[in-house]
Structure 1
Amino acid sequence: MKIFEALRKDHDKQRALLKILLETQGESPTRQEYYQQLKDALATHAIAEERYFYAPLMQADETIALSRHGVAEHHQIDKLIAKLDDTEMSSPAWLAAFKQLTEKVEHHLAEEEREFFQMAGKALSEKEKHDLAEEYLAEMGS
């Protein structure tokens, strides 16, 4: 497996959690449970992705700007999660903030898959792609 497939697998899980959460209502146990799963998935993914995808790409001139942009988007996602954590889950403001988070995460994932992966594919050797996937999966416990 290459790093791209490992990342895409987690991206699909994040998309599924976002979709499920949009269908929940109020401060229900279901919403609380899926929101915690989403937060955990985003946090562990961001750490491992920065370590085993962005950090190696920061070594190459042609991918450093994209890597910095990706890390910056992780910080924006963190801020939106902090805003959600400070908002009452049953309020309309929570759903509005969650929709902002959904848009940001979906934009970030699509951008990675459509742009970053192609540039990274040129910057990384085949061995690096496989080694980074192994390291990423080990950190994720997959």
Structure 2
Amino acid sequence: MNIFEALRESHARQRDLAEQLVQTHGSSVERAELFACLKNELFAHGVAEDRFFYIPLMMTDAGLGITRHALSEHHEIDELLEQLQALEMSQPSWLMIAKKLSEKVHHHLQEEEHGFFQQAGKILDDQQKEVLAQQYLKEYQAYQQKEKTSL
């Protein structure tokens, strides 16, 4: 498995969770569970992706510009998550922000998969892609477990 395949697996989960979340209503158990799952998925993915995809790319001149944009989008996603955590799930504004989060997640994943990955594929060699995938998956799984035990 290479880094792009590993990242796409989490991307599929993020899309699915985000889509399900915006279909929920009020302060339901379903909404709370989906939000916790999405937050966990985004956190585990973001930490591992930053460390074992973006940072190695930032070490190259060709990768510096594209990684800055992607990292800024990660920050925007984090801010939306913080806004959601600060609100009661039953408030109408909660769903509005959840929809913004879903749109931002979908936009970011689309940009990564249909632009950023192609550029990164030219920077990284095949061995790097495989090693980064192993490192990413190890870190991703560790953070998923860590977050699940703290919920």
**TM-score, L = length of structure 2:** 0.91
Q: 1: CA distance between counterparts of 2:141 and 2:32?
A: 23
Please report how far the alpha carbon of residue 84 of structure 1 lies from its aligned counterpart in structure 2 after TM superposition. 0.7
Corresponding residue SS for 1:141? helix
Partner of 1:45: 45
Partner of 1:84: 84
Partner of 2:109: 109
Matches within 5 A, 1:41-80: 41-80=41-80
Percent pairwise identity: 49
Deviation track 1:94-113 (CA, whole Å, cap 9, x = no partner) reads 01011111111111110000
Unaligned runs of 5+ in 2: 143-151
Partner of 1:137: 137
Unaligned runs of 5+ in 1: none
Q: 2: CA distance between counterparts of 1:93 and 1:128?
A: 43
Q: 2: CA distance between counterparts of 1:123 and 1:64?
A: 11
8 Å CA contact 2:47, 2:140 repeated in 1: no
Please report how far the alpha carbon of residue 23 of structure 1 lies from its aligned counterpart in structure 2 after TM superposition. 1.4
Q: 1: CA distance between counterparts of 2:93 and 2:134?
A: 40
1:89 corresponds to which letter in structure 2? M
Partner of 2:146: none
Please report how far the alpha carbon of residue 72 of structure 1 lies from its aligned counterpart in structure 2 after TM superposition. 1.0
Q: In the comparison of the two structures, how many residue pairs are matched?
A: 142
**TM-score, L = length of structure 1:** 0.97
Q: 2: CA distance between counterparts of 1:77 and 1:65?
A: 19
8 Å CA contact 2:52, 2:136 repeated in 1: yes
